[in-house]
Structure 1
Amino acid sequence: MNIQALFILSVSLLCDAKLPRYKQNIQPNKLPTNPTHNSQALRLLQTENKNEKTSRIVNEYRTRHRRESFDSRSYESSLIWSHSERLDENGDVLLRWVNTDSSITFRLEAKTRGYVGLGFNSARNMRGADLVVAWVDDRHGNAQLLDCHGLTFEDRAVADEVQNYELISGYQNDTHTTLEFRRQLDTCDKQDFVIGEDTTQILWALGPEGSDGDLPRHVHSGTRPLRLLQPLSKPDTVPLKHWDVRIANLTIPHVMATLFWCKVFKAPDLSQKHHIVGYQPLIDSRPIRNGKPVIEKDSLSPVHHMVLYECAEDHDKRLWSEWAEGEGFFGPSRPGELATCVTPIAAWAMGSKGEFLPENVGIPLGERGGVSYYMLEVHYDNQALHEVLDNSGIRIHYTPVLRTHDAALLGAGIGVSVLHVIPPKQRAYRTVGICSPECTNSTMPEEGINIVSVLLHAHGTARKITLKHIRGNEELPKISEENVYDARYQQSRIVPGGRRFFKRDTLITECTYDSSARDKPILGGYSAMQEMCLSFILYYPRTELAGCYSMTPVVEFFETFGVKEFYGLSMMQVEKIFLSSGNLEGLPQEIEGDISALQGDDQGVGLMKGLVIKEPPEFRNKTFMAHLNEMPWSEPLLTEQIEKTLYRGWHMTFCKKRDDSWGAPIQIQNYPNYTRLSSNDASEKSCHYKSVRLPSVTGATGDASRINSISAILILTSLFIAR
């Protein structure tokens, strides 16, 4: 590409960056309703302004004799970085940051001598994203930074009208480029991303050597979900002990896409009560090649999530000791006694680095302070059907220095079952699980409990999860909420200041799913292709409550989909099967045979495929699964009515204690009637667009934040696009 072509391209891009916005209101990350019309309008606007703007821009750059940038060598940052994350698997891009109540400062260390790009978005692409591109001039060693954004209807970046990022320092050596810069959490600039408590998709891109002055031929890029404002989690200042609970040499066969494995462990032999204060994942999965496990740099572990449960005390210690010495059990075939292992102690899911508990709480450990035996449940998602040798588990950190309060984990949400259905072709379909006031009234102390943190859990089609708090007929502020849920990043969320939760209060876990890419309904279940809607709630003081869930009553569920009767089984028999965890006793032989051929934790999927409809006549002789698949899901009136019926209708509630007994009887009750909490976040904040400027900390000239060179604009043409 010759100099003349480069100059024309730069002028064109500069004009694009200055174009007024097309009047159609385009939502971030969504294509406009008429992209062709939009493009035509932009071209017309460009033509009308071309001559005047081109002359002005060219004259401006001709009169600029030097780059107005900050000399990075004159500044050394004294910040203490509270967070540090690798953005790529190889560690070539390292992001550090620290924030105040109003601003955030970044340090980006990248293995490149070209430009580095960082972006923030709610989606995993650059459309509508907030982008910053920076580099260190090879000739003078000066750092340069440009505030940009991605167009909402095209994979292209343009410069912002207002530059809201402030360069602090930047330098490069033989291999790496390092830059420090800061911005306001909310710049009040419509072209910038508001950094809040939700998960943010962090975009990154690297240019090849010398790309700060030339159009790069290609870039390396990627995305990583992170919560930038999460409180710092740190261990005790006192020495900690650790206890590793991990699977030993389990071969995951290539024929199983989903596998649950359960392993019993005996607690450490402790002379006194100890407190669990944190945990970390131990991921060790090795693909088997030619009969031998190997370590492969880019291989992904099939470990999807892990939960460590307390097991209720049993007088037959001999049997439990044998299980603790054994290799474990395939989920569906585990001994019935393991059903007493219901109290979660640690819950880990993809993307989490584990956590340390707040310094005032700890979970009792050991026979003298807790229980004798624990069960580790590991879910393997092996959709690629690889043969893998696994030794994964959880490292438990504990201490004899007791915390102020005994804490516990409570599981809440929708009971895992195929009665949890998400129709296909839906942008925002909601389901809900209830922890009833009858349950909390019978299991909690008079003074109530204090909620400390929450882990919100679902699978790949979930987009939003909310834990609501109802007291009487009034909704209180949400306990925890994730508005941009990403199943790749499931880290516990601290509840700021904690939350007092009283007897007879109600918990509601609400999940919103985007199933627009699915052609068939999604059933609830453990497989990654199925869905969940759960909350794991850390609280104190410790109570007997272990789990508090709900699901749609069986009869009401089938009636919602227009089915009244099946061949060979009454509705009461079907209900009994679901309530007995899929027990196959009493099933007709032909149905039993169909189910027994399935692999993995069935959770009723086989039953759905085996139930043949008898009534009504229009669905007769179809299996229920076929009936679900053939429903006209593109009809909004149908899906809206189903959502309303299952959400606002009857719920069957379950209340489980730590010893696997019922904390309250199973009940069928209607969705609670309460006054919704009105959100006024938007009205509480007043912003003046284009009026926010960061105070200078560099001493650089006022023009240092402006668009610095034609080469900076050239970089944008391929920033974040190539992979």
Structure 2
Amino acid sequence: MRLLSVLLLSAVLYCDAKLPRDKIHIQPNELPPNPTQHAAAMRLIQTEKKNERTSEIVNQYKRSKREVFDSKSYEASLIWAHSERLDEKGDVVLRWVNTDSSITFRMEARTRGYVGLGFNTARNMRGADLLVAWVDDRHNNAQILDCHGLTFEDRTVADEVQNYELISGYQNETHTTVEFRRLLDTCDRQDFVIGEDTTQVLWALGPPGSDGELPRHVHSGSRPLRFLQPLSKPDIPLQTWDVRINKLKIPHVMATLFWCKVFKAPDLPKKHHIVGYQPLIDSKPIRDGLAVAENTPSPVHHMVLYECAEDDKRQWNEWAEGDGFYGPNRPAELATCVTPIAAWAIGSKGEFLPENVGIPLGERGGVSYYMLEVHYDNQELHDVLDSSGIRVFYTPALRKHDGALFGTGIGISALHIIPPKQKAYRTVGICYPECTNSTMPDKGINIVSVLLHAHGTARKISLKHIRDNVELPRISEENAYDARYQQSRIVPGGRKFYKNDVLITECTYDSTSRDKPILGGYSASQEMCLSFVLYYPRTALAGCYSMSPVLEFFDTFGVKEFYGLVMMDVENIFLSSSNKDALPPEFEAHLKMAASSDETAKQGDDQGVGLMKSLVIKEPAEFRNKTFIAHINEMAWAEPLLTEQVERRLYDWHMSFCKRRDDTWGTPIQIHNYPNYTELPSNEASERVVCHYKSVRLPSMTTGAASHTCISWVVLAICILLLR
């Protein structure tokens, strides 16, 4: 009996040592209340304590003898859904696959030291969720350490709770490879919640032999990615059609260049469906008159492929055989190319449509000619030879629905303004029911994906959906927008959009680094706010936009009259996309003078910026003889009341535009108030996983887990005792 008691007590003590305990959570840089000490001194004390804790955890990991797995056998049973190079050279590759609750990673890096992976909303390690992994050189054991970056210092410290599960790890003569997994939401405030928004993925490589020592890295970087993306490429044979520019020389005198090229569709015996597209980026810098293959960033900023409503096929054939046109100088007939079928922007890998949707291709599908519009952002002013474009994937196996795209948001114009020095300034573009009611079927449409597009100062974009004066859940939104990564977003389950519904594209900008107002336009130094919506069934709709009414816009800034132009003339110019033909003859000299400046010439098609530089204020007297640009540059933007008033005024009034696929107006241009509706309550708290913020362990990937062993010992001891 004494022997059995000893055996039972030993089993209980063994389990007590092995089973994980809940730990008290300590927030990063959380200080105990002590008003007598300076905050900086307290942070220093806390940092020292965290460093001590880090050393303890690292030493514990070094002492442990964790089982080494055969990574190849594990990988054979797992299909990596996604793979991305985190650096330009491909020295750091990240692969992953996720379920509804967890995500598994494989990191392959060219180093024999540690590899670091981090997740953050910013492009730095402060406050980031960090993982450090290495393979012990002496014992060949893989180890991982769950860490975070301090908020006030560029230093890595270990988390109180280790929420990453090691799967495998090994190294060869050149690379270290580690596989691990975690919950999407670990319920640990020191860990990043992996969700639908773009994540800044940080990486770092340690020097050889840096096994868990956490020294300063020798190479590091960041890349924006979204982890929760569905697999959409169909596993069927596909035909391809490459639509690309042919060796266009981009001159160093143009910072912004738009190039338009017409293409004739493939000669197909019957209707086919486009099911996807991928970018073809082929840009070579010109050195000493020759194009050289260098690993330099391409100036291609975004590309859109449009359907064209042609009339004279002989003329369109000639354009298709030509090299293309500089955007502002393209033939007027190309204005009929208004229906987008593919929209690509920086960071995107393209898109494949859901398996029940295809876009008709070719003459049998109703379209013979297409136009590729390429925006080059050449701010470095280099000579570049470019042959970029889009690879279109299509199939004769028709899908159930004919799909299409339409654009919505803010019409691209200098009337779109973002004041400087603003942390979160909002602008909106609205698609009103008058447009969709005249172009959509009675049963409505089904929205399946959205590409949200803006430029470098945008931080949030959302596509809102209003029905019966009530806001529904967002069709698509990005709360951590990064212009370097503009991948289209699948709408889970699709979204039904009916007549009388309203779409609102809202963009939030951070202009704190800018000293002057930002105006809307094509240049990367200007801004946009757009949504490209993929839907079915196909309709006559090509675009549904709004922008500030001209008279209300200038009235917002206190301007009543200009020299040489009445307000009606100014309105006509903007309604004609800043077309110089709409100018009165006596005003052309003013515009030519403004357009002769180096900055304006380099920016190319400026959508009215040059016009605003030439508009000289006549009334009121306090602004007299100033150009409009000078006037808004001198405004007291640091005053919150001024900025709030401008934001509110420009929200109140909207001029709507509705374009059909044949380039006709779906409805007349109209002035509207901002819609009156009940806003959607903040869903951040309601959608959050309910957490108690303590250790949340994944089921062990190993055999012989400690908890199972403990239970077996207890059961065995109790059974023996009962038998006695």
TM-score (norm 1): 0.89
How many residues are matched? 670
Task: Report the 3-state secondary structure (helix = DSSP H, G, I; strand = E; otherwise coil) of the residue aligned with 1:171.
Answer: strand
Post-superposition Cα deviations, 1:77-120, rounded to whole Å, max 9, x if no partner, equal 12211111111111111111111111101111111111000000
User: Which aligned pairs between 1:467-546 and structure 2 lie closer than 5 A?
Assistant: 467-546=463-542
Q: Distance in 2 between matches of 1:82 and 1:645?
A: 47
Match of 1:313 among 301, 310, 314: 310
The answer to whether the Cα contact below 8 Å between 1:75 and 1:169 also exists between their aligned partners in 2 is: no
Separation (CA, whole Å) in 1 of partners of 2:580 and 2:696: 65
426, 433, 438: which one aligns with 2:422: 426
Matches within 5 A, 1:358-369: 358-369=354-365
Task: Please say if residues 284 and 386 of structure 2, whose CA atoms lie closer than 8 Å, have aligned partners that are also in contact.
Answer: yes
1:629 is the counterpart of 2:633:
yes
State the alpha-carbon separation in 2 of the partners of residues 202 and 535 from structure 1. 25
Change (3 A) 1:74 1:274: closer
1:69: Cα distance to partner? 2.6
For 1:536, the aligned partner's letter is F
Residue 612 of structure 2: aligned partner? 608
- Partners of 1:625 and 1:213 lie apart in 2 by 56
- Classify 1:217/1:426 alpha carbon distance in 2 versus 1 (closer, same or farther; 3 Å): closer
- Partner residue of 1:248? 246
Distance 1:68 1:18, change over 3 A: farther
Q: CA deviation at 1:305?
A: 0.3
1:232 aligned partner, one-letter code? L
Alignment-derived partner of residue 668 in structure 2: 665
Distance in 1, Cα, partners of 2:180 & 2:558? 59
- The Cα of 1:570 is off from its aligned counterpart by 0.5
1:236–1:359 CA contact under 8 A, matched in 2: no
**Aligned counterparts, 1:190-589, within 5 A:** 190-212=189-211, 216=215, 218-237=217-236, 239-297=237-295, 299-314=296-311, 316-585=312-581, 586-587=583-584, 588-589=587-588
Question: Counterparts in 2 of 1:644-655, with a 5 A limit?
Answer: 644-647=648-651, 649-655=652-658
SS in structure 1 at match of 2:638:
coil
Residue 125 of structure 1 corresponds to 124
**2:615 equivalent to 1:619:** no
* CA gap 1:20/1:471 in 2 versus in 1, 3 angstroms: closer
Determine helix, strand or coil for the equivalent of 2:253.
Answer: coil
Larger mean Cα displacement after TM superposition, 188-197 or 78-87: 78-87
**Maintained 8 Å contact 1:280/1:353:** yes
Q: Which runs of 4+ in 1 moved over 4 A?
A: 17-25, 44-47, 56-65, 213-218, 700-703
CA 1:362 to 1:45, structure 2 compared with 1: closer, same or farther past 3 Å?
Answer: closer
What is the distance in 2 between the residues matched to 1:129 and 1:22? Answer: 13
Query: Structure 2: which 5+ runs fail to align?
Result: 1-23, 708-724
Moved more, 345-354 or 208-217: 208-217
- Corresponding residue of 1:715: none
Query: Is the 8 Å Cα contact of residues 70 and 700 (structure 1) preserved in structure 2?
Result: no
* Residue-by-residue CA offset, 1:387-435 (whole Å, 9 max, x unaligned): 0011111111111110100000010000000000000000100000000
Change (3 A) 1:213 1:81: closer
* Structure 2 Cα separation of the partners of residues 66 and 461 of structure 1: 48
Contact 1:553 1:650 in 2 (8 A): yes
Amino acid at match of 1:309: Y
Which residue does the alignment assign to 1:31?
Answer: none
- Once residues 64 and 311 of structure 1 are traced to their aligned partners in structure 2, the CA distance between those partners, rounded to angstroms, is 63
Partner Cα separation in structure 2 for residue 660 and residue 612 of structure 1: 34
Asked if 2 retains the 8 angstrom alpha-carbon contact of 1:282 and 1:394, the reply is yes
Query: Residues 19 and 45 of structure 1 are in contact (CA less than 8 Å); yes or no, is this contact kept in structure 2?
Result: no
Asked if 2 retains the 8 angstrom alpha-carbon contact of 1:119 and 1:131, the reply is: yes
Structure 2 match to 1:3 = none
> How many Å separate the matches in 1 of 2:62 and 2:336?
77
1:698-713 to structure 2, matched below 5 A, reads 698-699=702-703
Structure 1 CA distance for aligned equivalents of residues 56 and 398 of structure 2: 71
Could you tell me how far 1:520 is from its partner in structure 2? 0.6
Cα deviation, residue 535, structure 1: 0.3
Q: Which residue of 2 aligns with 1:721?
A: none
Kept after mapping to 2: 8 A contact 1:199/1:486: yes
Q: CA RMSD in A?
A: 2.3
Shift in Å, 1:241: 1.1
**Helix, strand or coil at the partner of 1:572:** helix
- State the AA in 2 paired with 1:223: S
8 Å CA contact 2:163, 2:695 repeated in 1: no
- Hey, what does 1:187 align to over in structure 2? 186
- Structure-2 residue corresponding to 1:39: 40
Q: CA deviation at 1:355?
A: 1.1
Which residue is 2:679 aligned to? 676
| Closer, same or farther: CA 217–195 of 1 in aligned 2, 3 Å | closer
Give the CA deviation at 1:42: 2.3
Contact 2:65 2:141 in 1 (8 A): no
How much has 1:677 moved relative to structure 2? Answer: 1.1
Aligned to 2:711: none
Over 3 Å counting, the alpha-carbon distance change for 1:337 and 1:697 in structure 2 is same
Q: Which residue of 2 aligns with 1:716?
A: none
Displacement of 1:370 in angstroms is: 2.4
Offset at residue 557 of structure 1 (A) = 0.3
Distance 2:427 2:480 in 1: 16
Query: How many Å separate the matches in 2 of 1:634 and 1:390?
Result: 43
Q: Distance between the aligned counterparts of 2:62 and 2:266, measured in 1? A: 72
Q: Give, in whole Å, the separation in 2 of the partners of 1:447 and 1:173.
A: 60
Q: 1:222 to 1:63 in 2, by over 3 A?
A: closer
What CA distance in whole angstroms lies between the structure 2 residues aligned with 1:235 and 1:63?
Answer: 47
- Mark the CA change 1:471 to 1:560 in structure 2 (over 3 Å): closer, same or farther: same
Does the Cα contact within 8 Å between 2:26 and 2:160 map onto a contact in 1? no
CA offset digits 1:429-454 (Å, max 9, x no partner):
00000000111111100000000000
- Determine the C-alpha separation between the residues in 2 that align with 1:498 and 1:681: 21
d(CA) in 2 for partners of 1:475, 1:143: 50
State the structure with more CA Rg. 2
Partner-residue secondary structure (3-state), 2:228: coil
Deviations 1:206-230 (CA, angstroms, capped at 9, x unpaired): 1121111656464211101110001
Distance of aligned partners of 1:214 and 1:509 in 2 relative to their CA distance in 1, 3 Å threshold: closer
In 1, the alpha carbon distance for the partners of 2:640 and 2:537 equals 46
1:434/1:138 CA distance change after superposition, 3 Å = same
Alpha-carbon distance in structure 2 between the residues aligned to 1:516 and 1:663: 39
TM (norm. structure 2) is 0.89
Is the Cα contact below 8 Å between 2:27 and 2:189 reproduced in 1? no
Provide the C-alpha distance between the structure 2 equivalents of 1:81 and 1:360, rounded to a whole number of angstroms.
24
Instruction: Give the letter aligned to residue 688 of structure 1.
Output: H
Q: Secondary structure at the match of 2:125?
A: coil
Aligned to 2:691: 687
Residues 61, 677 of structure 1: CA spacing in aligned structure 2 closer, same or farther, 3 A cutoff? closer
Q: Percent identity?
A: 75
Q: Report how far residue 24 of structure 1 moved.
A: 7.2
One-letter amino acid matched to 2:619: E
Query: 1-side partners of 2:306 and 2:560: how far apart?
Result: 39
Residue aligning to 2:715? none
C-alpha distance in 2 between matches for 1:60 and 1:356: 45
Structure 2 residue matching 1:581: 3-state secondary structure: coil
Structure 1: unaligned runs, 5 residues or longer: 1-16, 26-33, 704-723
Corresponding residue of 1:28: none
Q: How far did 1:596 drift? A: 4.4
